[in-house]
Amino acid sequence: MQLILSLFPGIDLLGRAFEECGFCVVRGPDVITGGDVRGWHVPAGRFDGVIGGPPCQCFSRLSHIVRSNGHQPKFGNLIPEFERIVGEAAPRWWLMEEVPEAPLPVVAGYAAWSCLLDNRQLGEAQSRIRRWTFGVPGLRYHVLGIDTVALFNTRFEYCATGGHAGTLARVDRRRVGKPGSVREYRHGSSCVGQAFRTNAAFCELKRQQGLPDDFDLPGWRVDGKCQAVGNGVPMAMGRALAQAVQEYCNAESGDTQEST
């Protein structure tokens, strides 16, 4: 069984997908549990792999809106922390998830392959594009064999995020700030802040992200649940990557046994 370290886990939907595929996952510190990855260290040679998605707020397209309003994204660029910890851990492989606009990670001693993957390429309705970078020791990179579908799902749903559940909100400007000012429509493209941080939105987010109906975060406020689930990696995408990495590990193990 492969022992892997999950960095920036949040509620770790990516780690959950890897666990379903037979990996043993150890989770690193995260701000939602009072931890801080900065300055955190790991011993070398203990983990077979390292996975994780550093916060993407400063690279997201929405960051331009935040900055235009005189603010800065909550988290800065933490990709260097991912690179540092991978370098310390010296694993057999590593996998990083980010938004398409983020810079590619560079870890000394590793060759990296990168691709953009849309959740719809896996047969899902939700369109969610993420960049995946897979690193292995040496000078030659390895292309992951990710199983995709021949035809997209006939349904289309916009990307679910921590702020909404893939719905389009139309605002009645005559009633802004009053009850009933926001009306919901399914399969839209945007949201209006807290209007969607409800139990109904949480259920919708779980469905879009591929989580079971009974999934819950006991003790959490509903807005926190929505944000955590919306910020996660869709389960279908996580499983596809975990299976591709598992195939790489199996092939590598077979090559090692043959050479010995």
144/193 same-domain check: no
Residues 137 and 222 in one domain: no
| Same-domain status, 243 and 202 | no
Count structural domains, the chain. Answer: 2
pLDDT of residue 13: 98
Q: Print the SS3 string covering the chain.
A: CCEEEEECCCCCHHHHHHHHCCCEEEECCCHHHCCCCCCCCCCCCCCCEEEECCCCCCCCCCHHHHHHCCCCCCCCCCHHHHHHHHHHHCCCEEEEEECCCCCCCCCCCEEEEEEEEEHHHHCCCECCEEEEEEEEECCCCCCCCCCCCCCCCCCCECCCECCECCEEEEECHHHCCCCCCEEEEECCCCCCHHHHCCHHHHHHHHHHHCCCCCCCCCCCCHHHHHHHHHCCCCHHHHHHHHHHHHHHHHHHHHHHHHHC
Q: How many CB atoms are closer than 10 A to CB 56?
A: 24
pLDDT at 162: 64
Do 238 and 200 belong together in one domain?
Answer: no
Query: Would you state the pLDDT for residue 174?
Result: 43
> Is residue 72 a part of any domain in this protein?
yes
158 found inside a domain: no
The verdict on 211 and 249 lying in the same domain is no
Whether 184 and 240 map to the same domain: the answer is no
Give domain status of residue 138, yes or no. Answer: yes
**The domain containing residue 124 runs over which residues?**
3-148+233-259
Phi, psi for residue 184 in degrees, rounded to 5: -95, 145
**pLDDT value, residue 64:** 54
- pLDDT on residue 179: 45
Same domain assignment for residues 60 and 103 = yes
**Per-residue pLDDT tens digits for 231-249:** 899 999 999 999 999 999 9
In a domain? residue 153: no
**193 shares a domain with 69:** no
**Same domain assignment for residues 202 and 90:** no
Q: Is residue 32 part of a domain?
A: yes
Count the neighbouring beta carbons within 10 Å of the beta carbon of residue 101. 12
174 and 129 in a single domain? The answer is no
Gap between the terminal Cα atoms of the chain: 20
**Spans in the chain with pLDDT lower than 50:** 66, 164-195, 256-260
- Residue 121 shares a structural domain with residue 241: yes
Residue 69 and residue 133 in one domain: yes
Supply the pLDDT for residue 198: 84
Q: Model's pTM, two decimal places?
A: 0.83
Q: What CATH number did the domain enclosing 21 receive? A: 3.40.50.150
Cα 180 to chain center, whole Å?
33
